[in-house]
């Protein structure tokens, strides 16, 4: 580690911020020693707030029908070879019940932007879960909706919302998305969610096509200023039926480095070790946790549809039952020196 990298790391550790230029410099000049230094610091601040706890969120993939056409995503509407499915309210409640039985107290309902889930339908599902399991947090990850829609869902009881900003550079955003989608609307959604009182998650892919180190530095500045309660990052993984089929996947090493930086920017942030990270490396999620991540998201979807929720190639965890998925994660986390925490795992209130 050069003197300059040591200086930047130490300043980030002490002040939780750097300029965009400095993030860029740190990312460009990082080496193994810098990464180990940052990971140790990130692990130490996480322990300060969360100990060795890793929170569990049960992921229910409610539909792979999508009206959007994001160029990176395997369930984009232009993918004719995707076998589509949608879960009914009853299916979703059954998954939530299984999650409860297994001790999970946060469910994440994620899906493509499927017009079937109107506000009425979706509010009914959220209320159904909240009535049956009042101590269970409900997180939604259903893409872009109107402010009014977010308001109704919040009123129905939704606690949290995950909407990755994908990239903080409008021009880069334009190269990853079809012309009818816009960076401004994405940001509007994030602001609305925040204002409506959701615990809000943003995030981005590491190594997405056309991404520059400068873009990643801008993503870090965005995380620094937006101060999300949650931040989802994972490597880009190509999907064979998308325009990005031949693009290289994102790096596990860089993803872990960024997890450490984000933990140091925002010590209390809830930071998942994602399935994409686990897909790119057999120990990917463990590496992510050691770098500063403190959330895992085992799959609670019905086993017969998991293969179809294919955002990218070779997605892991599509075989096992939900109980096996949790048991597997628990033993991996324990082996890495951490412990699984069931329970809601809310973002700690700011002093």
Residue numbers of the site for ligand SAH (CB under 6 A)? 72-73, 110, 112-113, 141, 143, 163-164, 166, 205, 234, 236-237, 239, 276, 311-312
Strand partners, 86: 63
d(CA 286, CA 336): 6
Tokens 């029908």 belong to 65
Give whichever of 17 and 240 is closer to ligand SAH, judged by the CB atom.
240
Q: How far is the CB of 64 from ligand SAH (least distance, A)?
A: 9
Give whichever of 238 and 345 is closer to ligand SAH, judged by the CB atom.
238
Give whichever of 144 and 321 is closer to ligand SAH, judged by the CB atom.
144
d(CA 125, CA 130): 9
Q: How far is the CB of 143 from ligand SAH (least distance, A)?
A: 4
Q: How far is the CB of 207 from ligand SAH (least distance, A)?
A: 9
Residue 53 and residue 100 in contact, taking contact as beta carbons nearer than 8 Å:
no
CA distances to 65, 66, 171, 186, 308 from 112, in Å: 5, 4, 24, 15, 12
Q: How far is the CB of 16 from ligand SAH (least distance, A)?
A: 25
d(CA 238, CA 79): 14
* Nearest by Cα to 114 from 102, 104, 105, 122: 122
Q: How far is the CB of 235 from ligand SAH (least distance, A)?
A: 7
- The strand order across the sheet containing 295-296 reads 295-296, 53-56, 339-341
Give whichever of 239 and 290 is closer to ligand SAH, judged by the CB atom.
239
Give whichever of 239 and 285 is closer to ligand SAH, judged by the CB atom.
239
């Amino acid at each position: 580690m050069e003197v300059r990298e040591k200086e930047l790391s130490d300043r980030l550790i002490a002040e939780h911020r750097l300029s965009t230029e400095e993030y860029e410099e740190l990312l460009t000049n990082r080496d193994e020693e810098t990464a180990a230094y940052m990971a140790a610091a990130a692990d130490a601040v996480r322990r300060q707030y969360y100990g060795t706890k890793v929170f569990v969120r049960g992921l229910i993939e409610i539909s792979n029908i999508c009206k959007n056409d994001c160029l990176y995503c395997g369930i984009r509407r232009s993918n004719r070879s995707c076998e589509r499915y949608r879960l009914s309210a009853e299916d979703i409640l059954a998954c939530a019940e299984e999650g409860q039985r297994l001790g999970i107290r946060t469910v994440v309902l994620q899906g493509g932007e499927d017009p079937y889930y109107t506000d009425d339908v979706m509010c009914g599902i959220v209320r159904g879960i909240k009535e049956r399991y009042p101590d269970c947090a409900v997180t939604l990850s259903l893409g872009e909706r109107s402010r009014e829609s977010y308001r109704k869902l919040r009123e129905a009881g939704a606690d949290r919302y995950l909407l990755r900003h994908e990239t903080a550079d409008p021009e880069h955003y334009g190269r990853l998305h079809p012309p009818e989608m816009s960076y401004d609307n994405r940001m509007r959604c994030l602001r609305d969610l925040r204002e409506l009182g959701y615990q809000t998650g943003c995030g981005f892919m590491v190594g997405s096509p056309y991404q520059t180190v400068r873009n990643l530095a801008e993503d870090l500045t965005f995380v620094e200023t937006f101060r999300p309660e949650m931040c989802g990052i994972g490597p880009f993984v190509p999907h064979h039926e998308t325009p990005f089929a031949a693009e290289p996947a994102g790096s596990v090493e860089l993803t872990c480095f960024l997890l450490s930086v984000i933990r140091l920017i925002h010590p209390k942030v809830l930071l998942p070790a994602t399935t994409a990270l686990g897909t790119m490396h057999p120990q990917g999620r463990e590496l992510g946790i050691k770098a500063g991540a403190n959330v895992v998201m085992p799959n609670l979807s019905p086993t017969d549809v998991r293969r179809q929720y294919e955002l990218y190639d070779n997605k892991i965890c599509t075989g096992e039952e939900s109980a096996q998925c949790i048991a597997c994660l628990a033993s991996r986390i324990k082996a890495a020196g951490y412990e699984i925490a069931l329970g809601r795992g809310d973002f700690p209130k700011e002093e």
